[in-house]
C-alpha cells in the first residue's frame, strides 16, 4: 500500500481565487447598467413581472448561467440584458465587475458593471413576460441618501416539513451522537438587509447591496 505523499498534494491545490463548493450553489449573473440621461449618469432598474419568480421586485438585468448558451458569465450578462430590456447587443458596453457575491439563500452572483449607450429608455422593447417596467435613478441620489439597514437572524433546522405538515429529519444529530442543541433549530448568522426608498418604490435585498457597494467605491 502506497503511503500518502504530502509533497505531491501541494502543486494540485487551487490558487485560492475560486469558491469552494460552487457547484452546489445556483450560479447567476447580474448586469448593473448605467445610462447617461440629459448629461447625468443614472442606474437603470427593472421591476420584475408579477408572473415570474420573485414577482414585482426591483432588480438589475440578469439570470442563471447556462453552459449550453454562454461561453462565460459575461455572455450571460449580455444575453439576459438583451432578452429582458429588448435592446441590441451594440448598445451594451461592459467595462468592469464587482467581487462575486455569495448570498445566504444559496446563490453565487457574478456582477458586471457597464453602460447602455441608448439614453431613450422609453424606446426599449422590454420583455413584458419578465419585466413590468424599467426606470432610472440618478446615481447622485444614492450618494446623497443613505440606505436603511435591518438585521435578520437566520436559523438552521435539521428537519423540514413534508406535505402533511409532519417533521422529516434531514440531519440525524441524535443518531450521530452530536450535542443536543443540534437536534433542534440552532442559530446561524445575522444577515443584514439593505434598502433604499425611492420615488419608484423600494429597492432592497441583493440589488440594494450591489448599489451600496458601488456607493462605497464611489466615495473612496
User: What is the span of the domain harbouring residue 115?
Assistant: 18-152+187-218
* Residue 64 CB neighbour total at 10 angstroms: 13
Residue 188 has pLDDT above 80, yes or no: no
Burial label, 153 (beta-carbon count in 10 A; 0-12, 13-18, 19+): exposed
Among 16-20, 27-31, 137-141, 207-211, which stretch is predicted with the lowest mean pLDDT? 16-20
Residue 211 has, within 13 A of its CA and on its CB side, a CA count of: 33
pLDDT band at 1 (very low <50, low <70, confident <90, very high): low
Residue 213 has pLDDT above 70, yes or no: yes
Residue 195 has pLDDT above 90, yes or no: yes
What is the pLDDT averaged over residues 60-69?
Answer: 89
> Do the domain assignments include residue 173?
no
Tell me the average pLDDT of the chain.
Answer: 90
> Do the domain assignments include residue 43?
yes
Contacts with 50 (C-beta within 8 Å, 6 or more apart), sequence order: 56, 132
Q: What stretch of H or E contains 81?
A: helix 73-85
> Do the domain assignments include residue 11?
no
The pLDDT score that the predictor gives to residue 155 is 81
Q: Which residues pair with 159 in a beta bridge?
A: 169
Look up the CATH number of the domain holding residue 52: 3.90.79.10
Cα dist from 155 to 105, 159, 196, 201, whole Å: 12, 12, 26, 29
pLDDT band at 189 (very low <50, low <70, confident <90, very high): confident
The pLDDT score that the predictor gives to residue 39 is 95
DSSP label at residue 153: E
> Do the domain assignments include residue 51?
yes
Amino acid at each position: 500500500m502506497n503511503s500518502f505523499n504530502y509533497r505531491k498534494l501541494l502543486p494540485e491545490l487551487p490558487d485560492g481565487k475560486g469558491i469552494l463548493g460552487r457547484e452546489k450553489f445556483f450560479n447567476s449573473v447580474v448586469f448593473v447598467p448605467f445610462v447617461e440621461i440629459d448629461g447625468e449618469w443614472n442606474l437603470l432598474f427593472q421591476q420584475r413581472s408579477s408572473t415570474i419568480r420573485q414577482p414585482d421586485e426591483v432588480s438589475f438585468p440578469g439570470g442563471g448561467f447556462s453552459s449550453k448558451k454562454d461561453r462565460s458569465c459575461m455572455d450571460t450578462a449580455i444575453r439576459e440584458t438583451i432578452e429582458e430590456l429588448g435592446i441590441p447587443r451594440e448598445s451594451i458596453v461592459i467595462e468592469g465587475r464587482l467581487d462575486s457575491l455569495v448570498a445566504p439563500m444559496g446563490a453565487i452572483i457574478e456582477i458586471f458593471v457597464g453602460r447602455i449607450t441608448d439614453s431613450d429608455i422609453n424606446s426599449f422593447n422590454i420583455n413584458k413576460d419578465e419585466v413590468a417596467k424599467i426606470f432610472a435613478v440618478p446615481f447622485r441620489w444614492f450618494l446623497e441618501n443613505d440606505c436603511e439597514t435591518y438585521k435578520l437572524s437566520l436559523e438552521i433546522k435539521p428537519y423540514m416539513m413534508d406535505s402533511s405538515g409532519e417533521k422529516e429529519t434531514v440531519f440525524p444529530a441524535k443518531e450521530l451522537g452530536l450535542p443536543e442543541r443540534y437536534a433542534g433549530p440552532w442559530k446561524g448568522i445575522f444577515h443584514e438587509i439593505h434598502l433604499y426608498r425611492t420615488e419608484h418604490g423600494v429597492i432592497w435585498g441583493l440589488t440594494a447591496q450591489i448599489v451600496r457597494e458601488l456607493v462605497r467605491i464611489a466615495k473612496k
